[in-house]
Amino acid sequence: ATQEETLGFQTEVKQLLHLMIHSLYSNREIFLRELISNAADACDKLRYEALENDALYGQDPELRIEIEHDADAGTVTVRDTGIGMSRDEVIQNLGTIAKSGTAEFLKQLSGEKQKDAKLIGQFGVGFYSGFIVADEMVVRTRRADNEQGVEWRSKGEGEFTIADIERPERGTEIVLHLKEDAKEFADDFRLKNLVRKYSDHIDVPVRMPKVEKARDEEGNEIEGSETVSWETVNEATALWVRPKAEISDDEYKAFYQHIAHDFSDPLTWSHNKVEGKLEYTSLLYVPERAPFDLYQRDGVRGLKLYVQRVFIMDDAEAFLPLYLRFVKGVLDSKDLPLNVSRELLQKSPQVDSMKSALTKRALDMLKKLAKDKEAYQTFWNTFGSVLKEGPAEDYANRDKIAELLRFSTTHTDSSVQDQSLADYVERMKAGQQKIYYIVADSFNAARHSPHLEIFRKKGIEVVLLHDRIDEWLMSHLTEFDGKSLADVAKGDLDLDDMADEAEKQAQEETAKAKEDLVKRVKEALGEDVQEVRVTHRLTDSPACVVLPEHEMGFQMRRLMEAAGQ
Ligand code: ADP
Ligand code: MG
């Protein structure tokens, strides 16, 4: 080997390696999924680059992945005929973690094995997971448009060595030297099962050697007559292309784990082929757990985009609105050009109509999920506050979104947000025109607000809002099912329709009797208030502050102040 140099891993890689080896032990078989997934990505990339430059295929037009093992040597090899890597790419890809947010991610790790294992799986540590089972990894690779081969070696401790090598074949070969306690993976049966379990849906054939010996006339094997033939072990068609009826739940789940880098099963999914003016196939998933960057609005989101089965890009965010950023999946379009770029996607009217169709699909999928109360609650607890961004972002679908919202209310008096507006409407009192709500900083502040006294007395339900986004939500959600939504801390309450005659008369008398008091309070408060009124909304507290109907709420004011406005 020439031009050999030894380099140190980036600090984050070292941290990650350490954590991974210690926390993913019980999931260690995933290394194979990760390496096959990278090999398949590399084939996708070659296919894509070859659209412009057919010569990249060279003498070997066949894209494939090969898996071999050697039980005596204790090795497993994963090889692909994909794009390969140049020396610089090797250093960059296998020495650092290029993904943004890594530092934040590492901060979230708790030191608790189980929790961290889940987080790490989701982060998609990919390549480095080889070190869970190997005490040395050797990568040999040549980029399809490059003459020079490269070898990378590491024991997964602090450093790696890199050198130039001869390598006639393009693509990448990864040799894992298995640890003493991981030798079980150097086994034909074990490997085959893992390939089927994790990689059935991959578009590229995954092959394993089948050794056969010729037999003599009596049917005995002839020594030294071994021939090796390659057998395709996986299904090798893209999952979403297959007819729905032929795909099992387990296959859908495995595919989700592949695209979302998640160990958990998805909560639900929706697979659709659309034919007509626009032709495309979509497969959308709702995850069970939130990614660590859910609240970073520039975090990774969106669908994996394919055009006519050719992989184009990850995280194509143009196809779903921001408030559905938790949805994962694949979109395969027949109509977009193969050389489509992110910029082009933003300007395309076809993308716009796909976006609105996919948005509807996603909302319908959630509506279906809502029929399963327990599953929907899991969804809501994780992603509810993201969905609450919906009415502001997507005016056209606000009714659909409103049906999907869940709240705390005085009906349950619990901080669990599990009541829909439809539930509320069903329980409305005779004569009640509006849906009442209160916004506060916390559930307890909402629940104990003096504004609720009159409502509790009259037995009228009030929605208790206590998420940071709630006031923003309510400023865009003014109606549900023909009923307007009213903030109990603002303007007139209009409870009069529900008061009986005697009550009304009593109220008028009180108002008269207290005229003097009102005058004195008004003088005392002077310009600090617009108006002082006798109120019937309190039953126990002596006084409360009320905002005019169209005034910004307290929460919003605080938000604006915090933002320096
Ligand atoms: P990810 O796949 O999420 O990008 P990985 O850690 O699995 O992260 O891989 C890191 C990078 O290394 C990949 O993005 C890719 O650029 C490169 N890489 C890994 N395996 C291969 C391979 N078999 N062929 C070409 N490039 C590869
Ligand atoms: Mg990967």
CA-closest residue to ligand 1 atom 7: 126
Highest mean pLDDT among 24-28, 120-124, 423-427 belongs to 423-427
Pair 139, 94: CB distance under 8 Å: yes
Between the alpha carbon of residue 47 and those of residues 32, 71, 329, the distances in Å are 23, 34, 21
Residue 169 pLDDT greater than 60, yes or no: yes
**Ligand 1 atom index nearest CA of 38:** 20
**What is the rounded average pLDDT of the residues 209-221?**
86
Residue 162 pLDDT greater than 80, yes or no: yes
**What is the rounded average pLDDT of the residues 440-448?**
94
Q: Give this complex's ipTM.
A: 0.99
Cβ 130 under 6 angstroms from ligand 1: no
Q: Return the pLDDT at 191.
A: 97
Centroid of ligand 1 to alpha carbon of 41 (angstroms):
8
Q: Return the pLDDT at 374.
A: 96
Name which of 99-113, 252-266, 410-424, 551-565 the model is least confident about.
Answer: 551-565
Confidence of residue 54 (pLDDT cuts 50, 70, 90): very high
CA-closest residue to ligand 1 atom 16: 93
Cβ 39 under 6 angstroms from ligand 1: yes
Q: Return the pLDDT at 411.
A: 96
**What is the rounded average pLDDT of the residues 114-120?**
66
Name which of 101-105, 260-264, 322-326 the model is least confident about.
Answer: 101-105
- What token pair was written down for 550? 């169209």
Confidence of residue 300 (pLDDT cuts 50, 70, 90): low
Centroid of ligand 1 to alpha carbon of 6 (angstroms):
20
Q: Which of 399, 400, 394, 409 has its CA nearest to residue 482?
A: 399
Quote the DSSP letter at residue 377: H
Task: For a ligand 1 pocket test, name from 9, 78, 93 the mutation site with the most ligand atoms within 8 angstroms of its C-beta.
Answer: 93
Q: Return the pLDDT at 549.
A: 65
Greater pLDDT, 317 or 296:
317
Q: Which of 101, 103, 84, 91 has its CA nearest to residue 141?
A: 84
Q: What is the pTM of this model?
A: 0.75
3-state secondary structure 3-43: EEEEEECCHHHHHHHHHHHHHCHHHCCHHHHHHHHHHHHHH
Residue 565 pLDDT greater than 60, yes or no: no
Cβ 85 under 6 angstroms from ligand 1: yes
Q: Return the pLDDT at 122.
A: 60
Query: pLDDT, tens digit, for every residue of 406-417?
Result: 999 999 999 999
Task: For a ligand 1 pocket test, name from 127, 132, 170, 259 the mutation site with the most ligand atoms within 8 angstroms of its C-beta.
Answer: 127
Annotate 515-542 with b (16+ C-beta within 10 A) or e (fewer): eeeeeeeeeeeeeeeeebeebbbeeeee
Confidence of residue 104 (pLDDT cuts 50, 70, 90): low
Are β-strands 303-307 and 328-333 bridged in parallel, bridged antiparallel, or unpaired? parallel
Between the alpha carbon of residue 494 and those of residues 59, 165, 366, 463, 538, the distances in Å are 81, 83, 35, 17, 14
Q: Which of 561, 560, 558, 529 has its CA nearest to residue 545?
A: 529
**What is the rounded average pLDDT of the residues 4-28?**
84
Half-sphere exposure of 20 (CA within 13 A, CB side): 27
Residue 404 pLDDT greater than 90, yes or no: yes
Greater pLDDT, 220 or 533:
220
Cβ 124 under 6 angstroms from ligand 1: yes
Cβ 122 under 6 angstroms from ligand 1: no
Are β-strands 171-178 and 159-165 bridged in parallel, bridged antiparallel, or unpaired? unpaired
Greater pLDDT, 220 or 68:
68
Pair 136, 157: CB distance under 8 Å: no
Task: For a ligand 1 pocket test, name from 13, 36, 38 the mutation site with the most ligand atoms within 8 angstroms of its C-beta.
Answer: 38
CA distance 134 to 20: 12
CA-closest residue to ligand 1 atom 11: 93
Name which of 31-45, 118-132, 445-459 the model is least confident about.
Answer: 118-132
Quote the DSSP letter at residue 532: -
Confidence of residue 72 (pLDDT cuts 50, 70, 90): very high
Q: Return the pLDDT at 494.
A: 64
Q: φ, ψ for residue 176 (rounded to 5)?
A: -100, 120
Cβ 172 under 6 angstroms from ligand 1: yes
Average pLDDT, the chain: 88
CA-closest residue to ligand 1 atom 19: 38
Centroid of ligand 2 to alpha carbon of 36 (angstroms):
8
Greater pLDDT, 511 or 61:
61
Confidence of residue 225 (pLDDT cuts 50, 70, 90): confident
Q: Which of 129, 131, 269 has its CA nearest to residue 201?
A: 269
CA angle 405, 271, 194 (to 5 degrees): 110
**Ligand 1 atom index nearest CA of 80:** 23
Confidence of residue 261 (pLDDT cuts 50, 70, 90): confident
Cβ 127 under 6 angstroms from ligand 1: yes
Name which of 29-33, 59-63, 348-352 the model is least confident about.
Answer: 29-33
Query: pLDDT, tens digit, for every residue of 73-97?
Result: 999 999 999 999 999 999 999 998 7
526: left (phi over 0), alpha (psi -120 to 50) or beta: left
- What token pair was written down for 464? 């208790």
Name which of 282-286, 391-395, 557-561 the model is least confident about.
Answer: 557-561
Cβ 126 under 6 angstroms from ligand 1: yes
Cβ 105 under 6 angstroms from ligand 1: no
Residue 20 pLDDT greater than 60, yes or no: yes
**What is the rounded average pLDDT of the residues 495-504?**
63
Residues with Cβ within 8 Å of 482's Cβ and at least 6 positions away in sequence, in order, are none
Q: Return the pLDDT at 211.
A: 84
Query: pLDDT, tens digit, for every residue of 520-534?
Result: 888 888 888 777 777
CA-closest residue to ligand 1 atom 10: 93
Centroid of ligand 1 to alpha carbon of 84 (angstroms):
10
The torsion angle over the Cα atoms of residues 39, 44, 46 and 50, rounded to 10 degrees, is: 170
Cβ 34 under 6 angstroms from ligand 1: yes
Quote the DSSP letter at residue 217: T
Centroid of ligand 1 to alpha carbon of 94 (angstroms):
8
CA-closest residue to ligand 1 atom 8: 126
Helices (H) and strands (E) in the chain, counts: 19, 19
Point out which residues pair with 480 in neighbouring strands: 483
Residue 139 pLDDT greater than 70, yes or no: yes
